[in-house]
Each structure stands twice: as structure tokens, then as C-alpha cells.
Chain A
Amino acid sequence: MEPILFCKGGGCTAKLGPGALKHVLEKIPRKNDPHLLVGFENSDDAAVYQLTEDLAIVQTLDFFPPMVEDPYLFGQIAAANALSDIYAMGGEVKTAMNIVCFPEQMDLNILGRILQGGAKKVEEAGGILAGGHSIADSDVKYGLSVTGVIHPSRILKNCGCKEGDVLILTKPLGVGIVCTAARMKAASSEAMDQAIRSMTQLNKYAAEALKPYEVHGCTDVTGFGFLVHLCEMLSEKYSAEIWASSIPYLKECEEYVEEFYLTAAAQRNRNHVQEKVDFVNCPFYMEELLFDPQTSGGLLASLSEKDAQCVKRELEEQGFVCEIVGQVTEKKEKTVIVKGDK
């Protein structure tokens, strides 16, 4: 039997470019329904549909090809990534369905391991697996369609940030770079372990820490990288200053960027927003980290500095990463200014 390459460079690096997608979405006719509280007009994380005065459902779907060799870990990562969109909206996970593409001639035990990994994360999220759909395909792809619930007044939209807010990021950047280095057989096992820990970690804990506070804008950092997601959050109303020295990242990335273990997706992200971003005394590796597509990345939230300090303290006490990485400012010529020296 022909050996099948399981991992060909997947995860969120396999996403279509933001430019291409925007172009297509703009052409789709839309129906007006006042119950659809969040649709795709603001590039938000998930759709929210109001059912009753105090209840809305949050729906999302995410799947992608493997970015790690171990099918059990891949299942966990794909599920954590799909579940993340519910958390980024402030919702609570209820049901999940598997979506699977799998080659007919491949060992079914591999599929079993993927699904076990996914199921483990759905359970951790407090949800229940309720079914799924599978297709025979030339390459492996896996993910979840997730439904959650939320109170209509507690939705965390992308774009509600206020001037003076600070921005927090709850996972280190660089998983795209580390996975690419690993694909080139150049990543250290420590770096890869750190990346896997980060990718399999649910954003549930960060979302729970944010819940008691007034969060003005929230998204999860995924395939479009930190800067594209940040630009979406700021829309045309505000700008932000980012402090490069505060950005958490997987330690060996500096070295991997120098070796140019960079993806096409990162370059597409750069092409998409580079006109809106000004790098001031910012090292090249940091630019690449900020454009790096993240698989199952952390939450990026905008809230008052006082609240942000509390969230940071809480998450750090539980052993999670949480850094205050910048501040929302009035609208300037550039949407984002990244400062190398604070």
C-alpha cells in the first residue's frame, strides 16, 4: 500500500486567504432577519440567533487538515479550535457534531484516535457529541460543528472596543512557525510540546475568567494571525498600539523565523493588512509572529486596564498565559502601530 502522508501542513495555515474570502462573501445575497444577532457581516467568530428574550444559540463550524503526526493530538487540537469560537462569543458549549474527511484505504484506527481526541475535548468543554458526517476524501480533515447558548445581552462581539481599553492575549503566538519547523524536521521536541500544549488547551478557562468583567470586544486568534484579527476588531473606528516586548510567544520562534520556516498563509496575512500596520523598531521575527497563522490560538480581548489586570492575575494563578499586549487609541493614519521598544 502506498504510504499516505498524514500531515502535509494543515491547521489554520490551510485556510483560504482573507482577501479571497472577503471578495466572495461580499457577493452572497443576504436576507434580513432581526433574530440573527451576529452574522458574517463583521467577520465575527460564530453566528448568534436569538430564540427568546433571554436565550440565543451560538453556532460555529471549523475543520482542517492535520498539523501534527499524532492522530489523537490532532483530534484534540481540531476540537479545541472549533470549540474556541463559542468561547470567543462568550457562549456556553452544548452540542457538537463531528465533521470528517478520511481516505477509504487508510487505517480506520487512525480515524478512531482522531475522534477519541475530539470527544475528550468536547467532554472537557461540558458539551455532548450528538452525531456527525463523514466523507471519503483523498486527505484527512477533521473538525466540529458546535452549538452553544448565550444570553442575548452577553454576546462578546469582535468590534466593541473603546478608546483607552487595553488588549489581552491568552495564548503565546508562533504555533504556525513551530509546526512549519517541525514539518521541516527542525523543531526541537520542547518547542513542539509547548505548541501542542497551547493548541490543545481550551479557551474555556480564559472565557470564564473574562465573564465577570465588562469585555468590549473579543475574538480568538486563528488562521488570519494576530494582526488581521486585531484589524477586524478595531474596524475603521479605532487604532491600537501594540507593545512587541509584551507579546507572548513560543520561545524558539526567533530562531525558526531566521531559518525562514514561514508559511504561505503568513505571507497572505501580511499582504492583507500590511498597509494598515506600522512597525517601529520592531525586529523581523516579531513581525512574522504577528502575521503567523495560529491553529487554536488564544483569545484577544479589549477591556479596561483595571479589569484586564484582574483577568491576568486570575489566569496566571491557574497557570495560564495572559499578557496585556497593547492599548486601543483614537483612530490614527495606521490602524496598528507595533512598537519594538515600549
Chain B
Amino acid sequence: MKIDARGKQCPLPVMDAKEGLKKAAPGEVVEICVDNEIAVQNLTKMAKHKGLEVESQKKEERVFFVRIQAAGEEKEAGKQTELTAQEKEQKEEACIPDGRKTGHIVVISSETMGQGDDILGKILMKGFLYALAGQDEIPETLLMYNGGVKLACEGSESLEDLKQLEAMGVEILACGTCLNHYGLTKQLAVGNVTNMYEIVERMTGARHIVKP
């Protein structure tokens, strides 16, 4: 059974799911589609409280699927619980309550933003990272190379914003060759060191690249 509860505020998705589970055949899986993580959490809470099997998946932005199995036949239930390792991994990835946009990366390739005046460029880049940390939707990954790595090193005025992004789950990767070139290897203060293979992989695999 499929229920589309997108556009509905809590507790309505949970009410719809309860109604669906009431009508469902024993062991039937009821799939509820919702548009926010809080609804996923409330549905999961309801299912767990009632002792039902539940799993959830983030399909895309504002599209989440929660599958709850109606009470009933043991055999079916057993089958449902045996998720493969791959499925489990997917499940864990599925519902991170955050604003990270899947496949979105931000590339910082210089200390400055735009061309013209470097002093202005630095101010703009600082402002960009500050504003980025305040967005509702943030990238999955922040790649930093060439002069960009300086922003992630000790003494950078953007450290606080980068740390905030990292705390919100954004993966921050700084190019190792670049850190080495500027003699900053030991000064990296946020994120992890990466290499060209990973940089290429992230950039070619990205759905959307933002480069200030």
C-alpha cells in the first residue's frame, strides 16, 4: 500500500499511516511518502512504539519513503528484518536530519572571490563562507585546493564558519599537494587532507558544483 503524505504537517502523516496500517493485510508493507525528516522521525517513532518493522529512505530533496510492515505473519516479518549489509548502509545514510544537499559540492580554489582587487576578493570570500554556513541547504562536500587551502589553516578568518559547516556534517577536504606547497601541512585546522584522485572523483561525481 502506498500513501502520499507530502505537503501534510505532523501529525497528519502519522494519522494517514495509522489508517493505512489498520486497513493493511497482515504483514503487508505500507509505504508512506513524506517531505520532511521530522515526519520520518515521527513515523519511525510510531512504528517502533507499536513494535512494527520500519525502514526509511531519502530518495531526493523533500522526498522520503518510510516503509512500515503491518503486524501479522511471522514469516514475512522475519524476511523483512534480514536486510543485507548494503541495504543497512543505505538505511543509515537514509535519514540524516540535516540540510545537506546530496551531490552538491562547493569548490574553493583561491583565497579570493572574483577578479579585480585581492583585498576585496578576500573580504568577499570570507563573506561567502560566512553566508554558506548560514544557509538552510548546505553542500555535502567542500573541496579546497591551491590558495583555497589557506582558508582552512590556522590564522584564517573563516575557520569558525568552516568548523560550523563541518559540525553540520559537511565533509571538508583540503588538497595535500597544495598544503605542502605553501608549507601549511601542519597548520590545517579543519577538515581532512585529500589527493587529486579524490578531488577528480568528487568533482566528476557531483550533481552540482558551486565555485565562488
Contact = CB atoms under 8 A, between A and B. Distances in A.
Interface residues of A, number: 17
A184 B11 contact: yes
Interface residues of B, number: 17
A313 to B, nearest CB: 38
A26 to B, nearest CB: 9
B15 A260 contact: yes
Nearest to A20: B136
Interface string A293-327: 00000000000000000000000000000000000
A264 B49 contact: no
A44 to B, nearest CB: 24
A284 interface: yes
A23 to B, nearest CB: 8
A184 B134 contact: no
Contacts of B10: 262-264, 267
Contacts, number: 41
A261 interface: yes
Interface in A249-290: 259-264, 267-268, 270-271, 284
Given A24-B134, A260-B15, A9 B9 contact: yes
B66 interface: no
A260 B15 CA distance: 8
Interface stretch (B34-42, B104-112, B140-148): B34-42
Given A24-B134, A284-B49, A262 B9 contact: no
The 9 closest A-B pairs by CB, nearest first: A264-B10, A264-B38, A260-B14, A260-B46, A267-B38, A267-B41, A267-B42, A262-B11, A261-B11
A54 to B, nearest CB: 40
Interface of A: 9, 23-24, 27, 180, 184, 259-264, 267-268, 270-271, 284
B97 A264 contact: no
5 contacts: A9-B9, A260-B14, A260-B42, A262-B45, A270-B41
Residue among B10, B39, B49, B134 facing the most chain A CB atoms (10 A cut-off): B10
Nearest to A258: B49
Nearest to B10: A264
B18 interface: yes
Given A27-B134, A261-B11, A271 B46 contact: no
A184 B38 CA distance: 19
